[in-house]
Amino acid sequence: IPDNIKNRLEIHPVKWIDQVLEMALESKPEPLPQKDEIVEVPPVEPNPAAPVVKH
């Protein structure tokens, strides 16, 4: 790496990823709202006439 590039680097030693995110991001991301939607799926009845597929 050329010296002119290395001289312009700002090195910040960190211990935790949280510290990296604080420095790297312009603002803290907001979590998406939780959706409490529960969709009930009816059980599938076995079809004895259907052929058995082997994989």
Residue identified by tokens 């790297």 is 24
**20 has pLDDT over 90:** yes
**8 has pLDDT over 90:** yes
Average of per-residue pLDDT across 22-43: 86
* Domain carrying residue 2: 1-28
* Cα 27 from Cα 21, distance rounded (Å): 9
* Cα 3 from Cα 8, distance rounded (Å): 9
Percent of the chain beyond pLDDT 70? 100
Q: Is 6 contained in some domain? A: yes
The answer to whether the CB of 14 falls within 8 A of the CB of 20 is yes
Q: Which amino acid is at 24?
A: A
Q: Is 50 contained in some domain? A: no
Residue identified by tokens 């790496």 is 1
Torsion of Cα atoms, 11 then 12 then 17 then 21, to 10°: -90
Q: Is 53 contained in some domain? A: no
Q: Is 33 contained in some domain? A: no
**pLDDT higher at 50 or 21:** 21
Q: Is 39 contained in some domain? A: no
Q: Is 16 contained in some domain? A: yes
Q: Is 11 contained in some domain? A: yes
Q: Is 43 contained in some domain? A: no
In the chain, the number of structural domains is: 1
What is the pLDDT, as a whole number, of residue 2?
A: 92
